[in-house]
Amino acid sequence: MTEHQRPLPDQAVYTISVAARLAGVRPATLRLYEEKGLLAPSRTEGRTRMYSDEDIRRLRRITELSEQGVNLAGIARILDLQDENHRLREDRPR
């Protein structure tokens, strides 16, 4: 990747501290969301969490739902339904 190229949306390039800063949350919050199955960051060989732009978008959606008063179980269900809807739209013949 040259200095002017953006990473691919699913390319894990951000450490937990950078991802937390981009999403406006604490790193501990990202670890909690991972523990609850809301996020699944990539891992380096040394087990360092790495986040992609897609992960950051998902994290911002989680934060938005949380600020609206949705609990973590509700957020998980909403995200599952949104993911399923996205898959169905992509699989549909055009």
Say whether pLDDT at 72 is over 90: yes
pLDDT range class, residue 10, cuts 50, 70, 90: confident
Give domain limits for the chain. Answer: 14-91
CATH architecture of 14-91: Orthogonal Bundle (1.10)
Tens of pLDDT, residue by residue over 42-64, are 999 999 999 999 999 999 999 99
- Give every CB contact of residue 66 below 8 A, 6+ residues apart in sequence: 72, 75
pLDDT range class, residue 15, cuts 50, 70, 90: very high
d(CA 18, CA 7): 15
Terminal-to-terminal C-alpha distance of the chain? 34
Q: What is the pTM of this model?
A: 0.82
d(CA 23, CA 11): 17
Structure tokens at 25: 């949350």
